[in-house]
Every structure is written in C-alpha cells, then in structure tokens.
Structure 1
Amino acid sequence: MIGSVSAAALKGRLDAQARIGLLDAREHGQYGEGHLLFASNCPYSHLERLAPRLLPDKLTEIYLYDDADGVAERAAQRLREIGYKDVSILSGGLPAWQEAGYSVFKGVNVPSKVLGELVELAEHTPQITSAELLAMQKDAHGPHLIDGRPASDYRKMTIPGAQSIPNGELLYRFAALDLPENQTIVIHCAGRTRGLIGAQSLINAGIPNPVYALENGTQGWVLSGKELARDNSPAALPELTAAQLERSAAFADRLIAEYDLPVIDGADLPAWREEKAYLLDVRSGEEFAASHVPGSVHAPVVQLVQATDEWVAMRRARIALIDDNGVRAASAAFWLRQMGHDAVIVRDSLTQAENAPPSDQAGTLPTLTPDEVVQLTGSATILDLRSSMAYRKEHIPGAVWAIRPRAAAVAKELTGPVILVADDPRVADLFASELEALTTVDCHCLAGGMQAWKATGKPVTANPDTPSDADAIDFLFFVHDRHSGNLEASRRYLEWETGLVDQLDRMERAVFQLIRTKEHADG
C-alpha cells in the first residue's frame, strides 16, 4: 500500500527508534541543501537501481519524502512496482517537516560526521595542528603521515608526504608498515571526522605508537597557508605475510573481547539472508571482485563507517559484516553499533564465496552508434542524462540536459525520435520508462555514451551557464569549491562540521550510543 504520514507521526516513529526505512527521493543537490538527519538519498533519477541496495527487505516499513512537488508519489509507485509493500509519503514533504519545527541538516553523510564529532568530544582524540605537523616533518625521525580517505580522494589532493591507506584498511594492514613503536602516526582527511575516526580506531586497538589526527585535515593545511600535493598516484596497499596476518587477526580478537562485539558463524548467514538483513563485504574492492559470498554487497569500511547512509537506509538495521580474518569487520561493527545498528562480525563465511560474474550494466533500449546519431541530426532530439556539471563541461552540440524528475517538461517539446546519452545505460532505461507514460516517442541510447562519441572524434561543445544553478538539482553547491582554493568555503565547511552536534535534539542524540574506551569510561 501507499500511505500518508504527518510530520509529527514520522518524528514519533524516528524518536521511537523503530526499525524503519527513510528515503529522500530528491536529487543529490536538493538533498544536500537540507534533509532529515537519518534519511538516505535515493534520487528519483536512480531510484530503482539504488533502492534494493539501500533497503534489501521489501516488506519493511518505508517513509519517503520530497519537496511537496509530486516526486515522492511517483517514487512510491515505482517502489511498489518493484516489490516494496509498505510505503508511506510524508504529507507536505520537507516544507511540512520544517513548518512543524523539526530540524533539517545540510551536507551529506551527516550521521557519520555526527558520530566523529561525538567521539572527539567523548574521547578527546589527540590532534595536532598543521604547524605542529610541519615542524615534526622537519625532524629526521618525523611522523608517519597517513591519508585515511579512499584512494580516489587521495588522487585529487593530499598533504605532501602522506601515504594512502583508507581508514578501514589501516588496522588490517598496520603490521605490514613495520613502524618502530615510538614513531608518531598522524592521520588526516579533508576535514575532521575521518581523521578523528581513523586515529581513534588505532588507539582503541591498542597500537603502541603515539597517534594523532591532523586538525581540520587538508582544509586546515590550506587555511594555514600551505600547499597540497595534487594529481597523486597512490601506491598499492601493503601486502601482509602470514605472520603479519596473525598479528592483524589479534587486533580483531582484542576489539571483539574488549568491547563485547557480537560474532556469528558463516553457517548463520542463510538465516540472515532469509531475513533480508544487510550482508556487507568490507574487504577491498579487489578482494570482493575476485570472489564473494552470493548476495553480499561490497561496502569498504572507510566508506561504510563514514558514509553509512549510502549503504543503509534503515534505522536500527541488522548488518552482517563479511571479512577474512575479522579485523575490518570488527572495526566497522564497533562504529556502526554506536550509530544504533545491530552490526555483527561474520566468521568463516568466505568458504561460501564464489567467483564473481561481471556486473550487469547493460541497458534494454535499442542503441545507436555515434555515426548513426549524426545521420539523425535534425530529426531527433538528443537528451543528455549525465550530471549537470558534466554537461556544462562538454556535450554533443544541440543536446539538451534532462533529468528524470523533470521529464514531463521535456516531454512537451518532443516530436520525433529521442536519443539518450548516459554514463550508465540503466539510467537511460529509467528515463525512457518515464517518457513512456507521457509520450509515444521512440527512445534510443547512444552506445558507449560520451566516451564513444569523443573516441570517434565527433565535436563537443560547452556551456558553463546551462543548466542554471537553480536547475542543476543534482549538484550540491554547498561549499562545493572548498578543495579548489576557496578559503571561505573551507571555513564554512569546518564551521558546519563542528556545529552538527549542537543541531541535534534530545531524541536524535539518543540514537548514538557511544562505546566508551576504558580510559574515559568513568569520565
């Protein structure tokens, strides 16, 4: 069924910490400008692709909202069509929520960032300033500097001298670093929380080295007048010997024993799968691609902990964390449980792993080659479904930028065949399904997308003003240029991050159940 719920009723369900799903059906830019604290963004343009990962249990109680513009109703119907049984829409959308006096939160991955700020307040995670780090680096026995973000972030920019080891891999591969026990370790991210969580993870595991987070990360570095290293090539993650793997496993055993983390056996997985729990494989992308347990989803620890809402859209979710020797799963479980989730470590499950087939990203629309598209120039409409910023940078001459929530406006102008340009042909499928209800035009997909178009030497054009900022609803402008030298944007971002805790009301704060380390348990 598709129901309706008032803002007060939905707040009551959230405050009761009920096991419910919460989806924001708006596009990424709209979501980032303000959303409910525990909502996962499931934009309508990608809805049917993302929903099964965000909410594997199709019988769960789901709440959906928009800007009171009809998108939630369309999204709810689509969810019903793919098997979700209990979907309700927030009456009046986000405006009604705000009119009722409830808070909205800017930015993305907010619950994970709140966790990092709460941990820093509770544990007094050691931090050093950029000036202190620079002074330490001048010493011959300076610190070992680690960039705890994913390698994709490291490639863009990092602090000079940093080694790329994502937080979730750091404890697992720590033995392979072979560091002297007296060497200081400094972990940084782009702002605050991933550095704090990375440092505190090592401290909690009992690493003997002095460990610090770099205060305000790369943004603090730039604000202090220093230059970042850009366009970097991260080295491969260090491999572990058999002896080092044993040392790594000992970290897992310590975390499990010290903090009473729950463990299940691989034999228990069928029951969890039957209950439609989250089965998340926290190993590296290469390990998962080689083989994994059927039905599991790849969720690298650094992102699962620091961007939990991108994998888990249910409150108090049951999450089975699949790993090899358990240290990465233990690290993830430790933090996810503090966010109110029932996260468990799975032992001895990889015996069930199977070789992974290639992921199916094929679309269902008939395709046209770039040369065939050229032949139709003048009689066909080309709709570019890529991101608004990609369109601004370059697009096929004459192509019109389009996005699924606003397909009705585009459909009014269509008279002939339509050629869809998309990075993922499945996105083209979803847009075409929208047009089916609005027009009778024939839709085709450009085979190979823009990459194929450019590879054949076809012309492209740019327009930095189209779509307008107001129409680019998929792009989050909120401090978007903080990594490109805009110091004011960096200051705004850091102020936003440190101010998150003060935005929480009493019931929102109660969701976070911090596991105090023994050092501060009585503080």
Structure 2
Amino acid sequence: MTITPAQVRSALLARREIAIIDVRDEAPFAAAHPLFAAQIPLARIAVEAPWRLPRKDVTIAVYDDGEGLAGQAVAQLRELGFTRVEELEGGLGGWRAAGYELFEDVNSYSKAFGELVEHRRGTPSLPAGDVQALIDEKADIAILDARRFEEYATMSIPTGRSVPGAELVLRAPVAAPDPDTTIIVNCAGRTRSIIGAQSLINAGLPNRVFALRNGTIGWTLAGQHLEHGRQESIEVGDGVDEARARAREVAYRAGVRRIDAGQLADLEAESHRTLYRFDVRQPDVYAAGHLSGFRNAPGGQLVQETDHFAPVRGARIVLADDLGPRADMTASWLAQLGWDVLVLEGGFDGDLATGSDGAPPPRGPEGRYKRPYEGTDNPAAAMQAYLDWEYGLVAQLERDGTHGFFVI
C-alpha cells in the first residue's frame, strides 16, 4: 500500500495524526525533506520507533529518495506491530514532483517558527560587535546562554552564564535583579536566542531584553573570541510565585489548557489519540523524582527539537513541571507551533519515579549531519550559508502552507 503526497498534505492541513518518517541517514535528510518529516534511519527503527511513535495504529508515511530503504522500513515497522504503515508514493521525488516545498537542515520547522516569531514580533537583537563593546566597557549586562549546559560548556560568549531556554523566566530575574540590567540571550545560531529573548519579553520582565544576533556563529564570523569550558549557571531564586504568575498569563494568551490527574487519566484512556507526556525540567532534576510515565524533554530543547521528541504531527502533548513556569512557557510555544498541548496541575506530592526515562541510547556519529553551528572549525562560508538559509525560512513557510503556526 502507498499513500500519495496529496493525502499526506491533506492530513497535515486537517490536523489528522500522521508521522512522516524519513528512513535515510541524517545527512541526506538534512539536504531535503518535507517540513514535518521526522528522521529515523533504517538501522535505528527497531530501537527508536516504539519509543517515538507510541500508538501502534497511527498513520505512518515512510519514504526515502530511491535508495530502496522505504520498503524495508515498512516491513520492519509492521513486524513491530504498527498497523497503518504506508510508503510515500514516489518517495521524496514524488513529493518534489507534486510541487510541494522541501526544507533543509534538521529541526527545520522549529527553526522556521523562530524566524516567524522574529518577523512578526520584531524581537530585538544586537550584533556581535555591539555586545563585545558592551563587555569591553563593563556595561550593566547579563548574557544568558539558552542552550543545553553541555553546549554552553563547549563554547560560550565571554561572561555568559547557562540558563537553558525553559528556565529563563525562572532564573533571569536572579541573574539580573536590577531592572536596569540589560539581558542578552544567546544560542549557537538564531532560534533559541529568538525564542529565549521573546519568552522574557512575553513574560513582561522589566529589563531591556535582546537576542544575540546569529549566536556563536555570528560571534565567530565577526572574528571574536569564544570561551571554552565555562561552568557558570544560575540557580532558581525566591521569585517563583512571580515567575509562575507571569508564565501562566503567557500560556493563557496562547490558549494553553490545564488539567488535573483525573483528566489526564481520561486522555490516557483515549486509545484513538497519540499522547506524549513530557517533564520539561532539567535532566538532573527529572532523575531525582518525576511522575511515572512522563519522559524527560527539557523545555527549551522540546521547542527546538519538537520533531525528534514528538514525530506524530497532530498528537496531544501534556507537560509537567513541579514549579510550573517551565511547563507554561514551553506550552505557550508548542501551542503557537500548532500543537494540542495541555499542562498538568500538581501531581508531584505523591510517589515519584527516579532515574532515567529509558530513552533509546543516543546515536553514534555514523550518518550524522555536521551542523554548521557546532564548534568553531566550520568554514566561514558554511556558517554564512546556514544563516542565509534561516533568513529565507519565513518565505518558505508561506510557500509550503501547511504549518498552522501563530504568534501571540
């Protein structure tokens, strides 16, 4: 059985559940794929598919680009118990022949959404040279790195401190308690800088807030020095109640709904819908105690890598967080990304599970696409080409027409 590109597109437009799975290695996937495609290489299907596709009767459209992988993947998925697996008619070439848009890189729709946010909200940013000048003159600034801590420790902006994206509303007031302090949010490229800065603006922090334009790529292209091995982070302070109120208001504006444990049980009983349950706290906090059945997806990365954590477009997502602001801010962005997302109220006062969530082991380097924003040894031309690609994503979203994003 096959499914046509037009049928896949119709499912996306109607917001019916569908997983579009590219079974090539990551490098060819990064060269061209449909907007909402997720990548699971053929060699990883047995390991990743049961984890990433939790409902066995969800519609799955599998494709390659003529390499002969898709048929093998369909057979493997059926052996794993998936009952509605179909090969995309014509593969990637069929999608292209239908006149539908193809996107590059990885986590493409999250990155495209970040560009749309900046385009529609005019998220303020500062170029690398201006930020360096502020550092040199010892201006009253706080540079907050919104990436994962490991990325921050690998390379960071001088004086920068680690505050992963979903933690910003909680921890930025600790880093910059004086409202006259200017906050600058950075990442490696653009998306997490934009989303992080706009999160603080949406939450109504009194500080002036900027994204570092083009992140560490822009810093490197400007010929400026990056630091390595920094270990500075910001702890949660006393302002949790204020952060909670700010984040809830943002979530409300984005249309996020709240549920209790009983309502969650009702959703879990609906076997005709895919349900993802994510605890959006940092891995060490999650491991110390979490709700059974909830997987760990730190909020900033969940927004950045939604296609990895939740490849079933049209599924429901429930978020949990013992303090609240991380779930509310993450949910606000997922709602704007077109997801049916809810926040679980409470639940952390009972028995909690500990340890990891049992996610499949990470992939090795084989078949991996080297990101232009990783490290400082990439050719300048590759880094600039990556930025140029990101600048064009807003127009590409409009041509594609399936995204359903909105920006509050």
TM over 0.5: yes
Match of 1:317 among 315, 318, 322: 315
Match of 1:234 among 217, 228, 231: 231
Q: Which residue of 2 aligns with 1:496?
A: 389
Q: 1:270 to 1:132 in 2, by over 3 A?
A: same
Matches within 5 A, 1:61-460: 61-177=59-175, 179-230=177-228, 232-240=229-237, 243-275=238-270, 276-356=274-354, 386-388=364-366
Q: 1:46 to 1:184 in 2, by over 3 A?
A: same
Asked if residue 32 in structure 1 is aligned to residue 27 in structure 2, the reply is no
Contact 1:482/1:490 (8 A) holds in 2 = no
User: C-alpha separation between the residues in 1 aligned to 2:184 and 2:375?
Assistant: 22
User: C-alpha separation between the residues in 2 aligned to 1:103 and 1:506?
Assistant: 7
Contact 1:479/1:490 (8 A) holds in 2 = yes
Q: Root-mean-square deviation (CA), in Å?
A: 2.3
- Any idea what SS the aligned residue of 1:89 has? strand
Counterpart of 2:7 in structure 1: which amino acid?
A
Q: 1:202 to 1:220 in 2, by over 3 A?
A: same
Counterpart of 2:258 in structure 1: which amino acid?
V
User: C-alpha separation between the residues in 1 aligned to 2:197 and 2:359?
Assistant: 38
- Deviation digits for residues 59-86 of structure 1 (CA, Å, limit 9, x no counterpart): 2111111123332222122222222121
User: C-alpha separation between the residues in 2 aligned to 1:138 and 1:65?
Assistant: 52
Percent identity (aligned)? 35
Q: 1:247 to 1:279 in 2, by over 3 A?
A: same
Deviation (angstroms), 1:26: 1.4
- Any idea what SS the aligned residue of 1:234 has? coil
Matches within 5 A, 1:506-521: 506=399, 508=401, 510-515=403-408
User: C-alpha separation between the residues in 2 aligned to 1:362 and 1:13?
Assistant: 29
Counterpart of 2:117 in structure 1: which amino acid?
V
Contact 1:120/1:196 (8 A) holds in 2 = yes
- Any idea what SS the aligned residue of 2:85 has? strand
User: C-alpha separation between the residues in 2 aligned to 1:509 and 1:51?
Assistant: 24
Q: Which residue of 2 aligns with 1:460?
A: none
Deviation (angstroms), 1:53: 3.0
- Deviation digits for residues 181-225 of structure 1 (CA, Å, limit 9, x no counterpart): 110000111111110100000000010000000111111111112
Q: Which residue of 2 aligns with 1:422?
A: none
Q: How many residues end up aligned between the 2 structures? A: 404
Q: 1:98 to 1:352 in 2, by over 3 A?
A: farther
Report which structure shows greater RCO (CA 8 Å, sep ≥6). 2
User: C-alpha separation between the residues in 1 aligned to 2:6 and 2:345?
Assistant: 42
Deviation (angstroms), 1:504: 2.6
Deviation (angstroms), 1:175: 3.7
Contact 1:27/1:45 (8 A) holds in 2 = no
Contact 2:125/2:213 (8 A) holds in 1 = yes
Contact 2:61/2:87 (8 A) holds in 1 = yes
Q: 1:361 to 1:202 in 2, by over 3 A?
A: closer
Counterpart of 1:5 in structure 2: which amino acid?
I
Q: 1:53 to 1:118 in 2, by over 3 A?
A: same
Deviation (angstroms), 1:22: 1.6
User: C-alpha separation between the residues in 1 aligned to 2:51 and 2:234?
Assistant: 27
Contact 1:315/1:340 (8 A) holds in 2 = no
Deviation (angstroms), 1:252: 2.6
Counterpart of 1:62 in structure 2: which amino acid?
I
- Any idea what SS the aligned residue of 2:392 has? helix
Counterpart of 2:148 in structure 1: which amino acid?
P
Q: 1:233 to 1:329 in 2, by over 3 A?
A: same
User: C-alpha separation between the residues in 2 aligned to 1:362 and 1:17?
Assistant: 28
User: C-alpha separation between the residues in 1 aligned to 2:260 and 2:176?
Assistant: 32
Q: 1:150 to 1:39 in 2, by over 3 A?
A: same
- Deviation digits for residues 420-464 of structure 1 (CA, Å, limit 9, x no counterpart): xxxxxxxxxxxxxxxxxxxxxxxxxxxxxxxxxxxxxxxxxxxxx
TM-score (normalizing by structure 2): 0.92
Consecutive unaligned residues of structure 2, counting only runs of 5 or more, are: none
Deviates more, 1:145-154 or 1:63-72: 63-72
Asked if residue 475 in structure 1 is aligned to residue 340 in structure 2, the reply is no
User: C-alpha separation between the residues in 2 aligned to 1:508 and 1:329?
Assistant: 29
User: C-alpha separation between the residues in 2 aligned to 1:66 and 1:489?
Assistant: 26
TM-score (normalizing by structure 1): 0.73
Q: 1:478 to 1:324 in 2, by over 3 A?
A: closer
Q: 1:161 to 1:481 in 2, by over 3 A?
A: closer
Counterpart of 1:201 in structure 2: which amino acid?
S
Q: 1:325 to 1:239 in 2, by over 3 A?
A: closer
- Any idea what SS the aligned residue of 1:74 has? helix
Asked if residue 487 in structure 1 is aligned to residue 366 in structure 2, the reply is no
User: C-alpha separation between the residues in 2 aligned to 1:295 and 1:362?
Assistant: 15
Contact 1:267/1:349 (8 A) holds in 2 = no
Deviation (angstroms), 1:483: 3.0
